[in-house]
Amino acid sequence: MTNVQRKGSLLSFRPDIKVLDATLRDGGLCNNFQFSDEFAKALYAMNVEAGVDYMEMGYKASKALFDPSKFGKYKFCDEKDLQAIVGENKSDMKLAVMADVGRTDFRKDIGEKKDSVLDMVRVACYINEIPRAIEMIEYCHKKGYETCANVMAVSKASEEEIADALAMLGQSPVDVIYLVDSYGSLYPEQVAKLTLRYLEYGEKYKKVIGVHAHNNQQLAFGNTIEAASWGASMLDMTVNGIGRGAGNCSSELLLGFLKNPKFRIEPVLRFISEYMLPLREAGVVWGYDVPYLLTGRLNMHPSSAIAFIRAGRTDYDAFNGELTEKD
């Protein structure tokens, strides 16, 4: 960290920085993707107004694996459902969708780019699934989409595994490689080191590096701007931080920080008042809470913390004991 420079200063703006709103996708994990059309349309209009570069509409999940009667449409993102929200998307904002390795029928459900309002497919995988991710990336690339690789849970991977993964993705047609802190376990110093490692490969293979943070230790925003300061340039966020468990980097924090005058915080503020507060009042739960800190600092999946909270438990010390016993 002593022989490299941060990119830009706090007062400068880097035109290379792009932001991606993942509200419908990561936020959908909080309510089984049951967003109203009104919510989705208002979110789309808001993101356009706020200068957001990409909006993620949800997942392309397999209908053979997931019952469409149990999830909202953003779990599947059928073309007709997307067009009902965004029309032909006559804006400068691009639209993305996520597809999980092993949970998508991508050959069936992802068609030609020319027939879709989608611009980008984000392929999510664990580090041992990189070859399967690359198969999907090649497929989507040939269909005409921009592509991302979101390699999850790198906090569990060895340096050698990460180097191998980055080299393989570097040689693929993927456009963006994401540093994903799935468990919210990384501290800013670790994010800085990982970002620089990702950028080595990014610079060598001409790939953009992105960051997707979680808020288990109240570091989602801090880690996002830490990664950006070293050169990550595709930044994920969600309105009011909505997302599984402790949630994500909040759009209002990130757009309040970035200096590019095209970004505007005001539409986000209005959207929070009009749509996010009612969502919370309706019982949708997300954001920092002690159980998420406990799984985060132990570098564990948040599922046990989510179950703990859903069960109405508040005996945090006992929960911590259960987590450390298992480990």
Helices then strands, counting H and E runs in the chain, come out as 14, 8
Residue count, binding to a copy of itself (CB under 8 A): 45
2 near a copy of itself (CB under 8 A) = yes
Among positions 265, 284, 301, 304, the unique one binding a copy of itself when judged by CB under 8 A: 265
SS3 302: coil
257 near a copy of itself (CB under 8 A) = yes
Alpha-carbon distance 73 to 111, whole Å? Answer: 18
38 near a copy of itself (CB under 8 A) = no
Q: Which is nearer to a copy of itself, 56 or 226 (CB)?
A: 226
12 near a copy of itself (CB under 8 A) = no
Q: Minimal distance in Å, beta carbon 312 to a copy of itself? A: 12
Handedness of CA 58, 60, 63, 65 (dihedral sign): negative
Q: Which residues 284-303 are close enough to bind a copy of itself by CB under 8 A? A: 288, 290, 293-294, 297
Give me the helix-helix angle, 159-170 and 130-143, nearest 10°.
20
Spatial neighbors of 101 by CB under 8 A, at least 6 apart, are 123, 124, 125, 126, 129, 132, 133, 136
Q: Is the distance from CB of 187 to CB of 195 less than 8 angstroms? A: no
**29-37, 111-119, 200-208, 270-278 -> range binding a copy of itself (CB under 8 A):** 270-278
Partners of residue 232 on adjacent β-strands: none
Q: Minimal distance in Å, beta carbon 220 to a copy of itself? A: 7
Binding site for a copy of itself (CB under 8 A): 1-6, 10, 187-190, 215, 217-223, 225-226, 229, 240, 250, 252-253, 256-257, 265-266, 269-270, 272-273, 277, 288, 290, 293-294, 297, 314-317, 320
